[in-house]
Amino acid sequence: MSGERARILVVDDEKVIRDSCTRILTTEGHIVKSAEDGNIGLEVFREFHPDIVLVDLKMPGKSGMDILEEIEGSDPNVVKIVITGYATVSSAVDAMQRGAYDFIPKPFTPEEISLIVARGLERRRLFLESEALRVEQERIRRNMISLVSHELRAPLAATVQYLEVILGGMAGKISSEAKEMIDRCNIRIKELLELLSRWLNLATFDPDKMAEHFQDISLSNIATESIELLKPLAEEKKISLILEKPDDLPPIKGSKVSLGEIFNNVISNAIKYNKAGGWAKVKLYERDEEVWVEISDNGSGISEEHLQRIFDEFYRVDGRRNAPVKGSGLGLSIVKRLVEAHGGMIDAKSRFGEGTTFRISFPKFFQRQKEG
């Protein structure tokens, strides 16, 4: 961006500083806007979307430190330069912690302001180039994953069709032994297809795209629907399903399909990894600015050595080929991604042989900040 036209915001309560910065930087071809205090400066910042902000530390009302902090929270990639006549080591450290890139002391010459702004804009240019490269690499990665997945799925799907033709007797009579072996092959290939599908969803997951379709969602309704869906599995395993929820639980912003997948996955685990006569409980409640979900069971539990890795991709607590409960090791990885895409957090507590509790928090008011 060095040598190119840039958008620059100057926030300073001294008119002479604002005017001199505007004159110098406008002469160099930049678009410059100014503000005489912090509140106005932040309003201009939100409308102007500058590449670089020059901000005075000492101003009446909202201080320069406050402005730095708010800009850093809103867009940490904007280059922030502090103008001050009171520079100290402690103020420098504080400003750097709030995202400041550099300092310029008062009074300054036209050459000094030009030089420090040029350095800041070079940093901005390098960041934008790096971000553009990252976005392009991510696009290539997603395309490659989709291509590889398609190339793997096509022959597997064709094989399933051939096996089903054979099992249906359309290719002639086969022995019971051969039928049993082909049936096992068919089941395993279908499991592999499901694994590929889940892996593709995880590897190409785009939280920004999902957030574009967020709407008000009742977690009470999602929990009720999930429990109804999983009732047959619970009855088969002789597991009692319990739902505790208040009548006035507020909605959250989210995706109905994704939230349903979160509940279905965690509740189904509470059923599968349980013992006959056990229970699985879903509890919903509100606390401060969050809606909480607790899904607990009195099943087999998870040992400490495994607990810290349960959200890792492809990790299974029981990784044996002949494990009694089949799975890909992707379910909880997907759950974690979906929870975080809603601005939430998930953790788990467990005691081996006594049961497990998953705790999920969702903010009531969430607006995702787009990456890049």
What is the tens place of the pLDDT at every residue in 45-92?
Answer: 989 999 999 998 888 778 888 888 888 888 888 899 888 776 555 666
Asked if 317 and 310 count as a contact pair (C-beta separation under 8 A), the reply is yes
CA distance 222 to 252: 11
| Topology adopted by domain 208-363 | Heat Shock Protein 90 (3.30.565)
Q: How far from chain centre, in Å, is Cα 87?
A: 38
Tokens of residue 229, six digits? 């869906």
Structural domain spans, the chain: 7-132, 136-205, 208-363
Checking if the pLDDT of 307 tops 50, the result is yes
Does residue 278 surpass a pLDDT of 80? yes
Q: Helix and strand tally (H, E) in the chain?
A: 11, 12
The pLDDT score that the predictor gives to residue 92 is 66
Q: What is the mean pLDDT of residues 338-351?
A: 92
Single-letter amino acid code for the residue at 174: I
Confidence of residue 204 (pLDDT cuts 50, 70, 90): low
Residue 149 or residue 66, greater confidence: 66
Helix (H) / strand (E) containing 122: helix 110-167
195 pLDDT higher than 80: no
Q: What CA–CA distance (Å, rounded) separates 303 from 312?
A: 15
SS3 content of the chain, % helix, strand, coil (to 5): 50, 20, 30
Identical fold, 7-132 and 208-363: no
Alpha-carbon distance of 22 to 38, in angstroms, equals 17
- Residue 76: per-residue pLDDT: 84
Domain 7-132 has CATH 3.40.50.2300: yes
Q: How many CB atoms lie within 10 A of CB 6?
A: 23
Q: Mean pLDDT across the chain, nearest whole number?
A: 84
